[in-house]
């Protein structure tokens, strides 16, 4: 009888130890899984934040070029003397600056080439920004002083050709080239930016469906989630 009681105590002790180990194991596993889940959630949040900042940067540049188009280009784009009459912007546009490290997740998306497209877009848009700034600088520092210098002669003529002769062939041709290129590049740049903003929003939303991804809603150009 004593022997049976002894073995019963051994079994109880073994079961108790096993239950303790099992509880410890599952407790540790739960904590590990929870920590992993929390880390994954934090990583997703950081990735989405980077994507939203990139979209915002694209939208910021879109808004700046839209302001140039509406305020300076559109009212005079069909005028014969638009190279003279389109005024310069008194403030310089800033470059598009995307943090591509934050968009590395795109390489595992359904459109891995989007990262390369965005890099090309940044280069093209910054070329347009430089062009707009270059025309503004030329208009302010070289063309307007010529207007002041030849004010009396220019006031006596209404002929565009005569005005161009007075201003000078070099200045006229350069200003015309800068103006025509600015109009084309701003129009094209806005189309490219609109396309890339929509694509980045779509791809990111597909990968992180539970998160809010900003987008640009035209024609209001206000960000929406």
Q: Residue 159: its pLDDT value, please?
A: 82
Q: Side-chain half-sphere of 196: how many Cα atoms within 13 Å? A: 30
Name the domain count of the chain: 1
Tokens of 201: 């929003």
3-state secondary structure of 223: strand
Predicted model pTM: 0.78
Cα distances from 200 to residues 27, 196, 205, in angstroms, run 41, 6, 8
**pLDDT tier, 222 (very low <50, low <70, confident <90, very high otherwise):** very low
Element (H, E) at 15: helix 2-68
> Residue 92 is part of which domain span?
45-224
- β-sheet bridge partners, residue 223: 216
80/71 Cα distance (integer angstroms): 18
Mean pLDDT score across all residues of the chain = 84
Q: Residue 225: its pLDDT value, please?
A: 43
Residue 40 lies in a domain: no
Residue 1 lies in a domain: no
pLDDT digits 0-9 by tens, 190-202: 999 999 999 999 9
Residue 81 lies in a domain: yes
Q: Residue 150: its pLDDT value, please?
A: 79
Residue 103 lies in a domain: yes
Please state the length of the chain: 225
pLDDT digits 0-9 by tens, 119-128: 999 999 999 9
Residue 24 lies in a domain: no
139/87 Cα distance (integer angstroms): 8
Neighbours of 140 (CB within 10 A): 14
Residue 39 lies in a domain: no
Contact 198, 148 (CB under 8 A): no
Residue 28 lies in a domain: no
Q: Residue 164: its pLDDT value, please?
A: 86
Residue 107 lies in a domain: yes
92/67 Cα distance (integer angstroms): 12
DSSP per-residue letters across 45-60: HHHHHHHHHHHHHHHH
Tokens of 167: 């201003």
Residue whose token pair is 């694209």: 58
Residue 92, pLDDT above cutoff 90: yes
Q: Residue 9: its pLDDT value, please?
A: 61
Contact 150, 166 (CB under 8 A): yes
Least confident of 12-16, 37-41, 175-179, 197-201: 12-16
């Amino acid at each position: 009888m004593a022997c049976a009681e002894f073995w019963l105590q051994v079994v109880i002790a073994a079961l108790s130890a096993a239950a303790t180990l099992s509880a410890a194991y599952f407790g540790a596993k739960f904590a590990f899984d929870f920590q992993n889940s929390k880390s994954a959630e934090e990583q997703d949040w950081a990735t989405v934040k980077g994507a939203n900042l990139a979209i915002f940067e694209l939208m910021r540049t879109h808004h700046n070029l839209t302001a140039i188009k509406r305020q300076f280009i559109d009212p005079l784009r069909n005028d014969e003397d638009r190279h003279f009459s389109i005024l310069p912007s008194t403030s310089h546009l800033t470059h598009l600056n995307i943090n591509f490290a934050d968009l590395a997740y795109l390489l595992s998306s359904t459109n891995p080439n989007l990262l390369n497209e965005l890099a090309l877009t940044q280069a093209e848009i910054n070329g347009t920004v430089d062009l707009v700034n270059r025309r503004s600088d030329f208009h302010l520092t070289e063309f307007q002083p010529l207007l002041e210098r030849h004010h009396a002669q220019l006031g006596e003529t209404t002929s565009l050709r005569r005005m161009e002769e007075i201003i000078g062939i070099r200045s006229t041709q350069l200003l015309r080239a800068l103006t025509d290129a600015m109009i084309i590049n701003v129009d094209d740049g806005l189309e490219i930016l609109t396309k890339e903003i929509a694509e980045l929003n779509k791809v990111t939303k597909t990968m992180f469906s539970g998160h809010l991804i900003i987008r640009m809603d035209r024609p209001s150009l206000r960000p929406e989630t």
